[in-house]
Structure 1
Amino acid sequence: MRLIPRDERFFDMFGELAQRITTSAKLLHELFSHPDRLVEYEARIKDVEHQADELVHQVNKRIDTSFVTPLDREDIHLLATRLDNVVDLIDGTARRARMFRITETREAALQLTDVLVRAGECIEEAVRDVKKPQSVADIGRRIKDLEEEGDATYHEAVGALFDGTPNALDVIKWKELYDKLEEAMDECEDVSNVLESISLKNS
């Protein structure tokens, strides 16, 4: 019997961070669907990014004040940081879309953000099941499949930018946006790997 109970609130905070990934990814999908409302969606994504930053701040503060944590302190910090990184990358994509004055909808951007939304939902599920290694491993394989789907879409989209005689500025703008979306997807896989490691260590 524990004399000092473990601080289980960390798991709730991880869940809240994971929700911010899905929320911001859905908003980014809407941004690329409705570029006429770009300023509105970019602002809403920025608000979610601030929420995620505050959650990470709370996690780090709680690490310092908790006598007994449910996971290694290093793992808590790493997972919170990885989750926040995905939100930061989504926010960075939205900011670039606004800076680049995006005015058109491109199917590849919708496909890539759809993959991000599904990856976010998988991460939420994995965080809920973090104490079940087999479930987390199964979800990890789904995230890997999504990452590969995103890679295929990314490569096709970037190649298509150079078809014919494209406008050079359009190529530069969309290539950078696609790069950021792929980077966000890669970070989702990194989150999945951290979750799998934590789940195995604490099973």
Structure 2
Amino acid sequence: MFSSKKQDPFFASLLKIAESVNEAVHYANDFKITSIADLKELSVTLKQYETDGDKLIHELIFMLNKSFMTPIEREDILELAVRMDDVLDGIEGCIAHFEMFSLTEVDDYMRDFLKYIVKSTDEIVAAMGHLTNKKLIAMRDHSILIKDYERKCDDVLRTSIKQLFLHEKDPIRIIQFKDIYEQLEEVADYCQDVANTMDTIIMRNA
């Protein structure tokens, strides 16, 4: 269906968006929080990633609006881009809540969530690489892994909230930690939305 001789600008744009999301998630995961000042630095940097991500989406929309032909349905291209941007918005929003709560403590459950989110965005980048090379079927394995990581995050959410209510006595900390756990699980859901959109594209075009 596709000519493999020339890189498609729409697929290249989707790969760029995926790499931007992945870079932001890795940055958040690798950042060491030891003080309130660290939280501010992390929040500001993630906000910049989110702003830059919005610019990439706007550039893609401009390309879609001016192009007569697209390699796949233009709605699918936009849907995939927006779903990836949701992941970036989600992680930025979660980090903003860390700063809002002045929460310098990152527990093992949060680390587990972030581990699976990082793995999911790694798979998204790999899948977009296959899309760039017009190898749609090869995207399927990455979609399966992303959904598996989301299921693992579901398990982490259930365990983390159960343990929180069993062992934490401070109601403020319960509110804060539950909020962060649920936001991180929502980011994993956004990654699964990307995988579902990939599946739709494979079904329609492979």
Q: Under a length normalisation based on structure 2, what TM-score does the superposition of the two structures give?
A: 0.90
Q: How far did 1:152 drift?
A: 1.0
Counterpart of 2:16, as a letter, is: E
Q: How does 1:74-85 map to 2 (within 5 A)?
A: 74-85=75-86
Q: Is contact 2:22–2:121 with CA below 8 Å preserved after alignment? A: yes
Counterpart of 1:196, as a letter, is: D
Q: How far did 1:199 drift?
A: 2.3
Counterpart of 2:151, as a letter, is: E
Match of 1:139 among 137, 142, 147: 142
Q: Is 1:182 paired with 2:185?
A: yes
Q: Is contact 1:30–1:41 with CA below 8 Å preserved after alignment? A: no
Mapped to 2, the partners of 1:143 and 1:118 lie a distance apart of 8
Counterpart of 1:98, as a letter, is: E
Q: Moved runs in structure 1, 4+ residues, more than 6 A?
A: none
Q: How far did 1:46 drift?
A: 0.9
Question: 1:36-59 deviations in whole A, cap 9, x for unaligned?
Answer: 211111111111111110000001
Name which of structure 1's ranges 156-165 and 41-50 shifts more when overlaid on structure 2: 156-165
Q: How far did 1:165 drift?
A: 4.8
Mapped to 2, the partners of 1:81 and 1:146 lie a distance apart of 20
Q: How far did 1:22 drift?
A: 1.4
Q: How does 1:15-26 map to 2 (within 5 A)?
A: 15-26=15-26
Question: 1:109-161 deviations in whole A, cap 9, x for unaligned?
Answer: 11111111000000011111133343211111111111111111111111111
Question: 1:16-48 deviations in whole A, cap 9, x for unaligned?
Answer: 1111221121222234x4242111111111111
Question: 1:158-184 deviations in whole A, cap 9, x for unaligned?
Answer: 111112352101110111111111011
Q: How far did 1:7 drift?
A: 8.6
Mapped to 1, the partners of 2:197 and 2:108 lie a distance apart of 31
Q: 1:133 to 1:12 in 2, by over 3 A?
A: closer
Counterpart of 1:28, as a letter, is: A
Q: 1:66 to 1:35 in 2, by over 3 A?
A: farther
Give the corresponding residue for 1:3. Answer: none
Q: Is contact 2:101–2:176 with CA below 8 Å preserved after alignment? A: yes
Mapped to 1, the partners of 2:201 and 2:191 lie a distance apart of 15
Q: Is contact 1:127–1:195 with CA below 8 Å preserved after alignment? A: no
**Secondary structure of 1:134 counterpart:** coil
Give the corresponding residue for 1:34. Answer: 33
Q: 1:28 to 1:148 in 2, by over 3 A?
A: same
Counterpart of 2:42, as a letter, is: Y
Counterpart of 1:137, as a letter, is: R
Q: How does 1:9-88 map to 2 (within 5 A)?
A: 9-31=9-31, 33-36=32-35, 37-88=38-89
**Secondary structure of 2:105 counterpart:** coil
Mapped to 2, the partners of 1:44 and 1:120 lie a distance apart of 18
Give the corresponding residue for 1:110. Answer: 111
Mapped to 1, the partners of 2:142 and 2:29 lie a distance apart of 22
Q: Is contact 1:133–1:196 with CA below 8 Å preserved after alignment? A: no
Q: Is 1:198 paired with 2:201?
A: yes
Give the corresponding residue for 1:99. Answer: 100
Q: Is contact 2:53–2:85 with CA below 8 Å preserved after alignment? A: yes
- Equivalent pairs: percent with the same residue? 28
Long gaps (5+) in structure 1? 1-5
Counterpart of 2:21, as a letter, is: I
Mapped to 2, the partners of 1:113 and 1:106 lie a distance apart of 11
**Secondary structure of 2:167 counterpart:** coil
